[in-house]
Structure 1
Amino acid sequence: MKTRRTTVALAGIGLGASFLALGPAATAQAGQNICTPNSKTVSWVQKSSSYALTNKVTSYDNPSGGKYKVSRTLKSTKKVSSDWSVTAGGKAGFSIGKVLGSLDASLSGSYTHKKETTKAETVKVTQTLTKKGRYYFYSGRQTAKGTWQGYKCDRGTKWIKVNYGTAKSFGPLGRGVVRCGEKVSTKSMAYAVKKKYC
């Protein structure tokens, strides 16, 4: 699995969707080339990312605010997968690696470029707690999905849509601990956990 960026899929909690142009510019001006003849490109009509908790979330209360090193073993509760579909037009030279690679490059995170399903993984999370409050131990993956269109360049003057379909992917396993009341990034898995459980 390719992982060139580091960002750590609460099913149903979206991180936003991007609506892009339906494809490359259709036609060049007379005598002007806009693309390499017979080259291919992927355009995304819609795409989004979210978080899926793949392991059972466990809480821990620290009522006094004392310093404690706490470990929790989180059992696997969910698997996620990566895949694609071609709704119309056939593959026409668009491999799953090309489509998922394009999805990866167009979203924040780092997602697999091949078809696969995660294994059931028991995860151990350890954290030193120093503040008073309730903590949640979690583990999961960032996921991505979208609707794609494939384009082929003719003789260099026009992009032609040749196929379209859907795709989904997932990123590396992430884990952590979040305390109710603490400030965390709204684009993090910790925020998704805090929003649901606190």
Structure 2
Amino acid sequence: MSTEKLSAMVSALPAVINENMIVKVIETIHKTFSRTRRTVGMKTCLEVLLQKHVQRLELNGLFFKMRLQGTINSTIRNIVCAQVTTMRNLMTLNMVSKCSDEILCVVSEKCPEVSDVNVSISDLVTDAGIKALANGCPKLENLGIYKCWNITTEGIAYVLKHSRNLKKLKCDQLGAVLINEFSTSKSTFKLIHFEQTQIC
């Protein structure tokens, strides 16, 4: 069966079933990869499963549990970037370990409903990516950026200033941000929870 036909079949499913399929297929790919070190079918699976009606995109298992070759990671990021352009209803993006500024910029432009983003341990996420989120995703409430070493205190401060609905922040430098950027400021935040000690 062609990728197009498979995609059409999946697109007819309710979003919640599609979202659960993404998680289950990633678990299966992980088990196969653990046994054989092969990633056959991964590209097709993602092209078929990442449908425009998806609201929860849980890709953390794919990246965090497997140590994939750089070319495979690049291919997967390219697929995610292309598919996310159609996801107008996306609310949750969980892409621990291998997210990029390019993906976050697309999310900020195409996914105005996003409220929950976790891109911890992503070396390709910088201030530019999280600033784009702050500017393009007014409903952003939860942000996880643990161990994103290319994000600076200036970038975090920008998010705090511009993400007016941000309630939960998980990062490594929040203390330094509050001391260095806001010690003499009259800015107020809606934060009700923050973490800076472990990865969730």
Q: More strand by proportion, 1 or 2?
A: 1
- Asked if these proteins are the same fold (TM beyond 0.5), I'd say no
Q: TM-score range by the shorter chain?
A: under 0.3
Q: Which has the higher contact order (CA 8 A, sep 6+)?
A: 1
TM-score, length basis structure 2: 0.20
Q: What TM-score comes out, normalization by structure 1 length?
A: 0.20
Higher helix share: 2
